[in-house]
Amino acid sequence: MRYFLGVDVGWSKTHALIADEMGQCVGFGKSGGGNQQGVGYDGLEKVLRATVDDALKMSQVDKAQVTAAGFGVAGCDFPSDRKPHLEVISRLGFSCPVEVVNDGVNGLLAGATRGIGVNVSAGSSNNCRGRNRNGKEGRIVGNGIQFGEYGAEALRSWATRCKR
């Protein structure tokens, strides 16, 4: 049996899911936010370890049995962010192929059967990703309240400042 790991890392929460080759969820883990812009790369590693370990434990799957792993990570916004994120992920000890993308890609791939379309995420911040049939991508990453974005974290921050 082959097993696949998918991890969604956001500002406020992280989820890990292990599925078998039939598409059945066999393990799930959850933890707090892991965006390195808020918790640093050490914090990202800590959150990933906790979340992935929980999913592995529930599934009773060993790391060596994982065929491939994909990580959609908030804060992995630009090509220069890829290498440090992969370095953190490599410390988890998987020997399978691993991919890391911005967490906005998760919704695009999950919601579009051919990976063509647009995904808008509005959680702790805002994120928009699109891909055309030629594979060309466009994106707008979360910039926060100073740019007129009012995701959940920005709204809380704004509300707190207004109360002062």
CATH 3.30.420.40 residue ranges of the chain are 1-102
DSSP-based helix, strand, coil % in the chain, nearest 5: 40, 30, 30
**Is 43 a residue whose pLDDT tops 70?**
yes
Task: Give residue 121's Cα distance to chain centre.
Answer: 12
pLDDT at 164: 56
Per-residue DSSP letter, 78: S
pLDDT at 125: 67
Taking only Cα atoms into account, the Rg of the chain, rounded to an integer number of angstroms, comes to: 16
**CA separation for the pair 17, 29 (Å, rounded):** 7
pLDDT at 2: 96
What is the reported pTM? 0.82
Sequence-distant (6+) residues with CB within 8 A of 97 are 68, 69
Per-residue DSSP letter, 121: E
- CA proximity to 62, closest of 90, 87, 96: 96
**Is 47 a residue whose pLDDT tops 70?**
yes
Structure-model confidence comparison of residues 7 and 37, the more confident one: 7
Return the top range by mean pLDDT from 54-68, 112-126, 140-154. 54-68
Q: Identity (one letter) of the amino acid at 51? A: T
Query: In CATH terms, is domain 1-102 a member of 3.30.420.40?
Result: yes
pLDDT at 109: 76
**Is 121 a residue whose pLDDT tops 80?**
no
